[in-house]
Amino acid sequence: MYPLDWLEERSGLVGGVRYFLFRKVPGDTNWFHTLGSATLTAFLVQLITGVILAFYYKPDPNSAHASIDHITHDVTLGWLVRGMHKWGASVFIILMFMHMARVFLFGAYKYPRELNWIIGVLLLATGLFEGLTGYLLPFDQTAYWATVVAININGTAPFVGPFLASLLRGGAEIGPDTLARFYSLHMLLIPGALIGLITLHLYLVVRLGVTSPPWSDEAAGEGPPPSPPPARAGLVRPRPRAAVRGRPTE
Ligand code: HEM
């Protein structure tokens, strides 16, 4: 594999990926441990479908809805890509909550993983904000009024509320500036923040290792049961004398 050897010699990247993929995890990890990777997969689907949608979407109040219509009805498989992005957003958020519930119920937020829990909370807030900014983009009645409600709720926050509302609106009214602002946040700033946070999150997962389920011996600090010594051909495995049936104990 010459190209891989070339890359490995100059960067060590191949060894890094190999370490990531083949690192040791506790023997009793189960399906619940796949929820983090499922969330990651949902996020990657959002990234890919989002880039394709951005080829056709026009962030301007006069053409935004028409461009969404064009994607849905004219562009080849546009309906599929748009549907995947729209429903995928809910899948991503539901999976994030399920993954968080698993981490909470398994006590995986405890020492030494508190920092990863904090990064997770930031991921949750940023992920929800991504959903909020995406909701305005079709610029139909639902999008418009949902955003009015969201901005008004932000406006009621103590002290910073009015500033926050005007920052999100980009002026006194929801209009072209709001749409441009939400689009920029939705496709640049928030995904960038999510990618950075996910990178940190996974770095800590690899560094600290994955926790066992609470019912496992490993979680109780007893370690895995010792594996039996390898059997040798032609010999009976030695046992304590008392355990040999039919022999009197000493
Ligand atoms: C974009 C969202 C997220 C992605 C892509 C993600 C990804 C992952 C992955 C792949 C793992 C390792 C496998 C696993 O335990 O499932 C993991 C572990 C972990 N995640 Fe997340 N996660 C996300 C959000 C969250 C949230 C919202 C929280 C909590 C508030 C959280 C807290 C943790 C913790 C504490 C661990 C370590 C668990 C352990 O060691 O057993 N994550 N995450």
Q: Separation of 82 CA from ligand 1 center, angstroms?
A: 27
Question: Which residue among 201, 202, 208, 218 has the greatest number of ligand 1 atoms within 8 angstroms of its CB, and so is best to mutate?
Answer: 201
Q: Is 178 exposed, middle or buried (0-12, 13-18, 19+ CB in 10 A)?
A: buried
What is the SS3 assignment for the chain? CHHHHHHHHHHCHHHHHHHHHHCCCCCCCCHHHHHHHHHHHHHHHHHHHHHHHHHHCCCCCCCHHHHHHHHHHCCCCHHHHHHHHHHHHHHHHHHHHHHHHHHHHCCCCCCCCHHHHHHHHHHHHHHHHHHHHHHCCCCCHHHHHHHHHHHHHHHCCCCCHHHHHHHHHCCCCCCHHHHHHHHHHHHHHHHHHHHHHHHHHHHHHHHHCCCCCCCCCCCCCCCCCCCCCCCCCCCCCCCCHHHCCCCCCC
Q: Is the CB of 68 under 6 A from ligand 1?
A: no
The protein residue whose alpha carbon is closest to atom 43 in ligand 1 is: 36
Q: Is 181 in the pocket of ligand 1 (CB under 6 A)?
A: no
pLDDT average per 10 residues of sequence, the chain (250 residues): 91 94 89 97 98 97 97 98 98 98 96 97 98 97 96 95 94 92 98 98 94 76 62 59 54
Is 36 close to ligand 1, i.e. is its CB under 6 Å away?
yes
CA pair distance 81, 75, nearest whole angstrom: 10
* Mutational pocket test of ligand 1: of 47, 98, 99, 102, the residue with most ligand atoms within 8 Å of the beta carbon: 99
119 Cα: distance to centroid of ligand 1 (angstroms): 9
Q: How far is the CA of 56 from the centre of ligand 1 (A)?
A: 33
From the CB of 95, is ligand 1 less than 6 Å away? no
Which pLDDT belongs to residue 154?
94
> Measuring from atom 9 of ligand 1, which residue has the nearest CA?
36
Q: For the whole model, what pTM was predicted?
A: 0.86
Q: Residue 36 C-alpha to ligand 1 middle, in angstroms?
A: 5
Amino acid at 55: F
